[in-house]
Amino acid sequence: MATETAHEEQRTQAQSETTVTVRCTGHVREAVGAHELEFTFAGDRLREFLEAFFEEYDVEDMLIAETEADATAHGWAPAPENLPGTWKKNPEGEQTRTFARVAINGRFNEHYEGLETILEDGDRVALIYPFMFCC
């Protein structure tokens, strides 16, 4: 236990700030005012990045769903009871809104460790919320 705590403290001290490349699309790009920017934040987890980014740019409501209903799209076809393959999603309150996504180096955060994913200097974080004019 003490060794794990000491290791965690060393990691925190060694990595007090992380700089990532942020790529924005759709509505997020419009709100942020740039397609791509470098962003430095305290910490090294996706959760810490998002908290710092949302303090500077008011785009949290575009990306993060507060409830399961906000994160779910309702299609016209019934979903099968047993979906093929392996399905992962973030817990309620940590999911993205319908059609919005957060990707790290080209992969959705759900395929890593969700908001606890560790980011490294130089990683690319995409904040995706496409334009939707139909509904």
Q: Does residue 10 belong to any structural domain of this protein?
A: no
Q: What is the pLDDT of residue 67?
A: 79
Answer whether residue 32 is part of any domain.
yes
- Domain coverage including residue 101: 16-72+88-128
Number of domains the chain contains: 1
**Which of helix, strand or coil describes residue 99?**
coil
Q: Kindly state whether residue 38 falls inside one of the protein's structural domains.
A: yes
Give the pLDDT of the chain (135 residues) as one tens digit per residue: 555 555 555 555 555 999 999 999 999 999 999 999 999 999 999 999 999 999 999 999 999 888 777 777 777 677 677 777 776 667 676 777 778 889 999 999 888 998 999 999 999 999 999 876 554
pLDDT at 94: 72
pLDDT value at residue 12: 52
Pairing, β 124-128 against β 17-24: parallel
Query: Taking a C-beta distance cutoff of 8 angstroms, is the pair 45, 115 a contact?
Result: yes
Of 43, 46, 25, 45, whose CA–CA distance to 34 is shortest? 25
The domain that holds 115 is classified in CATH as 3.10.20.30
Burial class (CB within 10 angstroms; exposed 0-12, middle 13-18, buried 19+) of 98: middle
Give the pLDDT of residue 10: 55
In a domain, 44, yes or no: yes
For residue 99, give every residue at least 6 positions away whose Cβ sits within 8 Å of its Cβ, in sequence order, or none.
Answer: 73, 129, 130, 132
Residue 88 has what pLDDT? 67
**Residue 7: inside a domain, yes or no?**
no
In a domain, 6, yes or no: no
Rounded Cα distance between 43 and 46, Å, is: 9
Does residue 57 belong to any structural domain of this protein?
yes
DSSP helix/strand/coil, 38: strand
Q: What is the pLDDT at residue 132?
A: 62
Question: What is the reported pLDDT for 15?
Answer: 57
Please give the pLDDT value at position 29: 94
103 is a domain residue = yes
